[in-house]
């Protein structure tokens, strides 16, 4: 059966509508025809949900395809950097400091004589880890707190709103300088923790708004009237209708978090050597930028492309999930 | 008596003050009976239903008094968990606009099946089979295929049938239908009403039909309760009320229905507007618009006078109104 969806069920009603007058019949036929032609543009078969609809749009969006490819590549080299850069990023030879590109070392050497190519490739891991973990933390914490506040309302909602206001008032870089300067660990986790701490209010505000909107819909009241419990209403009826804006903001935030990690590392409070990260590379290369610009340009370029890819992905996802915003 | 609402009071606290949405409503429905609750927007008919179902938005809404007796038990005093088990299983509700009352991101099959998994603990597969069965019951063609469709893929009439199927799912004793046909085309309205009436007979349920459409009521209802400003102003068996209304408001409503035998003449309209629920007039709430209003109407709230053992009217001058109706 090619088109099991729209036209079929309307036939009985239309038929009755048409029996009275000839004009009614023509009208029904014309309407059925327009419905039919509208349908032909779509692939026949399974009906489409919001998500399959969004996926359908995304696959045809070159911005999405390009940014998704960049991100896939990035994730692969973050997981297995040795695939394309078998060298040791911590192996440096001071004798070759600031040297230009040479065979086997396409990006040249930095101020410490370390291979820029190897370090740039290995630096992706820190950026992707920070971006993904911070986003996951922010998304979970923010949507749980924001969602609950929006659903419960009243006092707790007001309390949460004031708390988010406090967090919004904290300048990220200043907060990072103060909080992270006391941390001695050289792993990514303090940075992730800091970004989650300052990032969740943004998601929580979005999630709260989405839940408050979804809560007012008739189908939520209908679910209540048919005996669904509170948690069930929240998880089955409200959450799926409120999750789209959270996904969009989280995707865009991922790029921002990667840039923030680089910023904090550049300032010396994010990742610290001997960790390998783009921010550390940029920081280390900046004093010699006149003599060895390549040591700065490659990691900076990698950072820019990565952030751009995530922001473009977020934009594409937003367009697909909420065409009204386009 | 299946359901008896006694002296129900509901108010809403708003920024502008307290809105008295329901002021002492009482009605009763027996098994197998259809009660139509008739009234304009803001007369409190939907709020009464929401209070009965226990789905009033609180805050701002609040039940401030009265009883809702379902099979003799006062629902208002039951703990929430017990009320939840009654909702959907023993008392179900049909909403006005099925497009907004169905979850847009769930297939209709999943939404129907949810009734069985929530209340009966059925497996997903068994629940799905029940869903198809229900869709067939409400006469949806090709139910087995359409069970995987989303609400937006159905026409308005079909969606309302799905709403009805959801309400019927657990074979409740009472269904409250809140303007079930208002959002539909006139031709589809009749089909949906017929379906509802058929199913009510078949299952032997009680039905509370909330509507502002006098035409819908005449064919299916056994009794009518007319509401105005949060009160019942007249209650009567349907044919008696149509023949001889005992309240000037009811008479005004009946006179404002377009009729073929009065073609070409001006359509009667009740003058004025329904009162703001924030400032309900003292005495009889209808007095500023009533053609028969006298001094007593401005000061004394009329009780629901017994017109006959089956009829009641909240008008000080119901006798006059009844006689006037007979003459007209």
What residue segments make up the domains of chain B, in order of their start?
3-327
CA angle A19, A22, A26 (to 5 degrees): 100
Q: What is the pLDDT of residue B159?
A: 87
Which two three-digit tokens encode residue B59?
Answer: 């805050």
Sole residue written with tokens 């098994």: B31
Q: pLDDT by residue (tens digit) across A129-140?
A: 999 999 999 999
Chain A residues inside the 8 Å CB shell of B48 = none
d(CA B106, CA B149): 9
Find the mean pLDDT for residues A242-262: 87
DSSP-derived secondary structure letter, A154: H
Query: What pLDDT digit, counting tens, does each position of A17-43 carry?
Result: 333 333 434 444 443 433 333 333 344
pLDDT for B95 beyond 70:
yes
Q: Which residues of A233-246 are buried (b: 16+ CB within 10 A; e: fewer)?
A: bbebbbbbbbbbbb
For residue range A139-180, list pLDDT tens digits in order: 999 999 999 998 888 889 999 999 999 988 888 888 888 888
* Contact residues, chain A, for B163 at CB < 8 Å: 222
Chain segment B59-72, per-residue pLDDT in tens: 788 888 888 898 88
What secondary structure does DSSP assign to A220-271, as a single string? Answer: HHHHHHTT--HHHIIIIIIHHHHHHHHHHHHHHHHHHHHHHHHHHHHTTSSS
Q: What is the pLDDT of residues B187-228, one digit of tens each?
A: 888 888 888 888 888 888 899 999 888 877 888 888 999 999
Of the candidates A310, A246, A289, A320, the one whose C-alpha atom is nearest the C-alpha of residue A70 is: A310
Rounded to two decimals, the ipTM of the complex is 0.74
| Chain B residues within 8 A of A16 when measuring between CB atoms | 187, 191
Is the predicted pLDDT of residue A6 greater than 70, yes or no? no
Spatial neighbors of B35 by CB under 8 A, at least 6 apart, are B27, B28, B29, B206, B207, B208, B209, B221, B222, B223, B224, B225
**Partner residue facing B100 (CB), from A11, A217, A232:** A217
Model confidence at A296: pLDDT above 90: no
For residues A69-97, average pLDDT: 83
Contact residues, chain A to chain B, C-beta under 8 Å: 1, 4-6, 8-13, 16-17, 46-50, 154, 217-219, 221-229, 232, 236-237, 240-241
Span between the terminal Cα atoms of chain A, in Å: 35
Which of A222, A229, A238 is the best mutation test for B, with the most CBs of B within 10 A?
A222
Q: Which residues of A touch B93 (CB under 8 A)?
A: 222, 225-226
Query: What percent of chain B shows pLDDT beyond 70?
Result: 99
Contact B118 A240 (CB under 8 A): no
Q: Does pLDDT of A223 surpass 80?
A: yes
CA distance B165 to chain A (A): 12
**Could B87 and A221 be called an inter-chain contact, meaning their C-beta atoms sit closer than 8 Å?**
no
B226 to chain A nearest CA, in Å? 24
Burial class (CB in 10 A: 0-12, 13-18, 19+), B124: exposed
Instruction: Supply the pTM of this predicted model.
Output: 0.71
The pLDDT confidence band at residue A48, using thresholds 50, 70 and 90, is: low
Alpha-carbon distance of B169 to B115, in angstroms, equals: 7
Q: Do B141 and A12 touch (CB under 8 A)?
A: yes
Bigger pLDDT: A220 or A106? Answer: A220
- Selected residue of A219, A224, A231 to mutate for chain B interface (largest B Cβ count, 10 A): A219
Q: Chain A neighbours among B 100-119 (CB < 8 Å)?
A: 100-107, 114-115, 118-119
Cβ A10–B155 below 8 Å, yes or no? Answer: yes
> Are B145 and A4 a contacting pair at CB < 8 A?
yes
Using pLDDT thresholds of 50, 70 and 90, give the confidence band for residue A203: very high
Mean pLDDT of A191-195: 91
Report the residue of chain A nearest B151, measured CA to CA. Answer: A49
Answer left, alpha or beta for residue A81, where phi above 0 means left and psi between -120 and 50 means alpha.
alpha
- For chains A and B, CB pairs below 8 A equal 113
Higher pLDDT pick, A271 / A18:
A271
pLDDT band, very low/low/confident/very high, at A309 (cuts 50, 70, 90): very high
Q: Distance between CA B39 and CA B24 in Å, rounded?
A: 15
| Percent of chain A with pLDDT strictly greater than 70 | 83
Can you give the pLDDT at residue A59? 85
Does the domain at residues B3-327 carry the CATH identifier 3.40.50.300? yes
Does the beta carbon of B97 lie under 8 angstroms from any beta carbon of chain A? yes
pLDDT in tens, B121-156: 888 888 888 888 888 888 888 888 888 888 888 888
pLDDT of B106 over the 90 cut: no
Give the chain A residue whose CA is nearest to the CA of B111. A223
Question: DSSP strand E in B161-309: where?
Answer: 174-178, 206-211, 223-228, 231-237, 305-308
* Rounded Cα gap, residues A141 and B142, in angstroms: 44
Top mean pLDDT of A69-73, A100-104, A221-225 is at A69-73
């Amino acid at each position: 059966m090619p088109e099991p969806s729209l036209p079929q069920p309307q036939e009985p009603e239309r038929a009755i509508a048409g029996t009275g007058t000839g004009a009614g019949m023509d009208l029904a036929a014309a309407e059925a025809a327009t419905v039919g032609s509208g349908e032909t543009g779509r692939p026949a078969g399974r009906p489409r949900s919001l998500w399959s609809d969004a996926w359908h749009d995304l696959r045809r969006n070159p911005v999405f395809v390009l940014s998704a490819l960049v991100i896939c590549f990035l994730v692969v080299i973050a997981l297995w950097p040795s695939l394309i850069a078998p060298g040791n990023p911590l192996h440096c030879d001071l004798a070759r400091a600031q040297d230009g590109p040479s065979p086997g070392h396409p990006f040249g050497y930095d101020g410490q004589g370390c291979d820029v190519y190897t370090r740039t490739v290995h630096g992706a891991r820190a950026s992707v880890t920070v971006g993904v973990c911070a986003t996951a933390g922010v998304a979970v914490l923010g949507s749980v707190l924001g969602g609950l506040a929006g659903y419960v309302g009243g006092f707790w909602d007001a309390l949460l709103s004031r708390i988010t206001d406090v967090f919004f008032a904290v300048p990220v870089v200043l907060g990072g300088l103060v909080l992270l300067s006391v941390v001695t660990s050289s792993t990514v986790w303090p940075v992730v923790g800091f970004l989650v701490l300052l990032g969740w209010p943004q998601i929580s505000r979005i999630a709260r708004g989405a839940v408050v909107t979804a809560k007012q819909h008739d189908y939520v009241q209908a679910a209540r009237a048919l005996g669904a419990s509170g948690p069930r209403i929240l998880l089955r009826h409200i959450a799926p209708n409120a999750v789209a804006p959270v996904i969009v903001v989280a995707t865009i935030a991922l790029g921002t978090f990667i840039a923030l990690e680089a910023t904090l590392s550049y300032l010396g409070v994010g990742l610290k050597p001997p960790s390998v990260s783009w921010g550390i590379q940029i920081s280390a290369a900046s004093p010699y930028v006149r003599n060895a610009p390549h040591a700065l340009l490659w990691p900076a370029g990698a950072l820019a492309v990565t952030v751009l890819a995530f922001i473009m992905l977020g934009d594409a996802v937003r367009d697909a999930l909420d065409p009204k915003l386009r | 008596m299946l359901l008896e609402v006694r002296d129900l009071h509901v108010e809403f606290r708003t920024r502008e003050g307290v809105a008295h949405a329901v002021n002492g409503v009482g009605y009763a429905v027996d098994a197998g009976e259809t009660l139509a609750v008739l009234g304009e927007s803001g007369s409190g008919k939907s709020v009464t239903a929401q209070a009965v179902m226990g789905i009033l938005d609180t805050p701002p809404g609040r039940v401030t008094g009265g009883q809702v007796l379902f099979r003799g038990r006062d629902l208002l005093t039951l703990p929430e968990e017990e009320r939840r088990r009654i909702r959907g299983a023993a008392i179900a509700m049909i909403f006005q606009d099925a497009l907004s009352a169905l979850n847009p991101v769930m297939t209709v099959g999943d939404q129907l099946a949810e009734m069985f998994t929530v209340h009966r603990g059925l497996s997903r597969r068994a629940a799905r089979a029940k869903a198809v069965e229900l869709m067939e019951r409400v006469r949806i063609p090709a139910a087995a295929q359409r069970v995987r469709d989303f609400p937006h893929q159905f026409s308005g009439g079909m969606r309302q049938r799905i709403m009805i199927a959801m309400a019927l799912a657990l074979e409740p004793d009472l269904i409250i239908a809140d303007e079930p046909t208002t959002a539909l085309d006139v031709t589809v309205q009749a089909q949906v009403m017929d379906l509802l009436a058929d199913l009510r007979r078949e299952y032997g349920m009680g039905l509370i039909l909330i509507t502002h459409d006098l035409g819908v009521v005449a064919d299916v209802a056994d009794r009518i309760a007319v509401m105005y400003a949060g009160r019942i102003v007249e209650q009567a068996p349907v044919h008696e009320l149509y023949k001889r209304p005992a309240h000037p408001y009811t008479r005004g409503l009946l006179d404002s229905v377009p009729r073929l035998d009065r073609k070409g003449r001006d359509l009667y309209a009740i003058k004025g507007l329904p009162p703001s629920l924030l400032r309900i007039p003292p005495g009889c709430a209808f007095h500023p618009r009533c053609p028969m209003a006298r001094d007593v109407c401005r000061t004394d709230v009329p009780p629901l006078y017994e017109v006959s053992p089956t009829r009641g009217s909240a008008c000080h001058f119901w006798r006059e109104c009844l006689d006037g109706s007979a003459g007209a």
